[in-house]
């Protein structure tokens, strides 16, 4: 009887609960039960997204602080500040009035100042060496002293800063250190050609290092968007110029630059292509006297300032990790495209040794072991002497030269290294 009573009481309680919850509702006093979802949310899709600029800055903080040490805080601040520009004069336009205008604003052509500094450097070095030679040979004959002084002068005259290529037809105006004046936008002349091209002035250093001579066959392997190609045309002495870039969209930008700055008769002499630069050594091997290899890189300044097209975006992680391999392949293609005795200039706009010195070292090794090509890494230290008033150089760069961004001279970063195929 007791069991029957309990069953009856339980039935009455259940009926009461059903009456209180109403149709379709949860039992009274129990609240809503857990709902089941068809798809389980993934952490990667719901976690806060870190902007690629922050990822880039964190990556640089970890790596560049070890490389640059006490210099990194200053370089970091400079990367996050407004970049400084130079005005590359367009020799195909009427630029006399532009020169006067820029000089009135206290801008100077840093390229034309180089031979003057070279001459002063030569005289100072010659005088110093002559003084040392004279003191060492005071007890020798007069004829001996004369011979030693003549030898000293010869060494000074043939030192790297005196190469006439530095005084090229390239003219680029910059404002002095600490002067953050902005250049006005470029203007067209009567023929519709723009009077100057605004660019990072440090980007001209690889072109100057290339040392183009009259009638040289020149290849710009990764040419777009076109600033360095335009600078090569400003020399006016290329026997043949090939400008290549694998990206068709970027090649269109190169065409636009040429159309805006170069007369049609000159423009039509430039061979513009969109091949994969890694294949160039097979397409035109041992053809060019000079090859410029301005490779894709982490573009450090862009990476900490711009979200769009940022290589530190998570979707581009694999691409970023493969950059040193791509850079090595492009440099090897440039070496193979160069004639014996020709020269290659490799450049990036990154501070990373993995993209700079290590790529150079590996390319030299591969050229020797796999292609039996001997490569000599040229000494570019005289660039520091010639352009130290305009740029800040990293003195501990093992191979080539590296321009560091600085708050008073906010150009770069720009790495460049010159190789000679023996």
Q: Which residues contact 201 (CB under 8 A, 6 or more apart)?
A: 84, 85, 86, 110, 172, 174, 390, 391, 411
Is 118 labelled as part of a ligand binding site? no
Is 294 labelled as part of a ligand binding site? yes
Nearest-5° angle of CA 226, CA 227, CA 232?
A: 95
Radius of gyration of the chain (CA): 32
Is 200 labelled as part of a ligand binding site? no
Helix, strand or coil for residue 288?
strand
Is 389 labelled as part of a ligand binding site? no
Is 172 labelled as part of a ligand binding site? no
378 touches 328 (CB < 8 A): no
43 token code pair: 């952490």
305 touches 80 (CB < 8 A): yes
Helix, strand or coil for residue 382?
helix
What's the per-residue H, E or C state across 295-355?
Answer: CCCCCHHHHHHCCCCCCCCHHHHHHHHCHHHHHHHHHHHHHHHEEEEEEEEEEECCCCCCC
Distance between CA atoms of 164 and 419, rounded to whole angstroms?
19
- Of 172, 297, 349, 397, the active-site residue reads 349
Q: Is 349 a catalytic residue?
A: yes
152 touches 368 (CB < 8 A): no
Is 179 labelled as part of a ligand binding site? no
311 token code pair: 């290589």
Is 224 labelled as part of a ligand binding site? yes
Distinct helix (H) and strand (E) counts, the chain: 17, 13
Is 171 labelled as part of a ligand binding site? no
DSSP 384: H
User: Residues with catalytic annotation?
Assistant: 349
- Binding-site residues for S-adenosyl-L-methionine sit at 222-228, 245, 276, 294
- Binding-site residues sit at 222-228, 245, 276, 294
């Amino acid at each position: 009887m007791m069991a029957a009573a309990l069953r009856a009481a339980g039935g009455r309680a259940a009926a009461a609960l059903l009456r209180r919850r109403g149709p379709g509702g949860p039992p009274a006093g129990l609240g809503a039960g857990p709902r089941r979802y068809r798809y389980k949310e993934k952490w990667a899709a719901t976690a806060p997204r870190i902007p690629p600029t922050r990822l880039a800055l964190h990556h640089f903080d970890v790596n560049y602080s070890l490389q640059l040490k006490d210099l990194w805080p200053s370089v970091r601040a400079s990367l996050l500040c407004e970049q400084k520009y130079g005005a590359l004069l367009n020799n195909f336009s009427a630029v006399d009035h532009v020169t006067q205008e820029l000089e009135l604003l206290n801008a100077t052509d840093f390229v034309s100042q180089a031979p003057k500094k070279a001459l002063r450097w030569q005289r100072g070095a010659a005088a110093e060496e002559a003084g040392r030679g004279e003191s060492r040979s005071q007890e020798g004959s007069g004829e001996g002293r004369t011979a030693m002084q003549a030898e000293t002068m010869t060494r000074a005259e043939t030192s790297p800063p005196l190469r006439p290529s530095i005084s090229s037809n390239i003219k680029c105006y910059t404002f002095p250190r600490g002067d953050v004046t902005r250049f006005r936008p470029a203007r067209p002349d009567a023929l519709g050609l723009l009077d100057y091209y605004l660019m990072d002035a440090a980007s001209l250093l690889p072109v100057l290092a290339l040392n183009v001579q009259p009638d040289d066959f020149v290849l710009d392997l990764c040419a777009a968007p076109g600033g360095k190609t335009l600078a090569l045309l400003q020399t006016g002495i290329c026997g043949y110029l090939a400008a290549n870039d694998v990206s068709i969209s970027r090649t269109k930008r190169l065409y636009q630059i040429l159309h805006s700055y170069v007369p049609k008769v000159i423009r039509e002499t430039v061979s513009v292509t969109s091949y994969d630069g890694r294949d160039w050594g097979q397409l035109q091997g041992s053809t060019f006297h000079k090859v410029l290899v301005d490779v894709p890189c982490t573009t450090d300044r862009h990476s900490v300032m711009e979200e769009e097209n940022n290589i530190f975006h998570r979707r581009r992680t694999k691409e970023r990790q493969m950059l040193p391999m791509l850079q090595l392949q492009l440099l090897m293609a440039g070496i193979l495209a160069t004639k014996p005795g020709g020269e290659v200039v490799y450049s990036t706009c990154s501070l990373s040794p993995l993209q700079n010195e290590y790529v150079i070292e590996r390319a030299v090794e591969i050229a020797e072991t796999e292609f039996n090509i001997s490569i000599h890494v040229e000494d570019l230290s005289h660039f520091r002497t010639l352009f130290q008033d305009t740029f800040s150089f990293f003195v501990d760069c093992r191979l080539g030269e590296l321009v560091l961004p600085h708050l008073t001279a906010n150009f770069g970063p720009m790495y460049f290294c010159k190789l000679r195929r023996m």
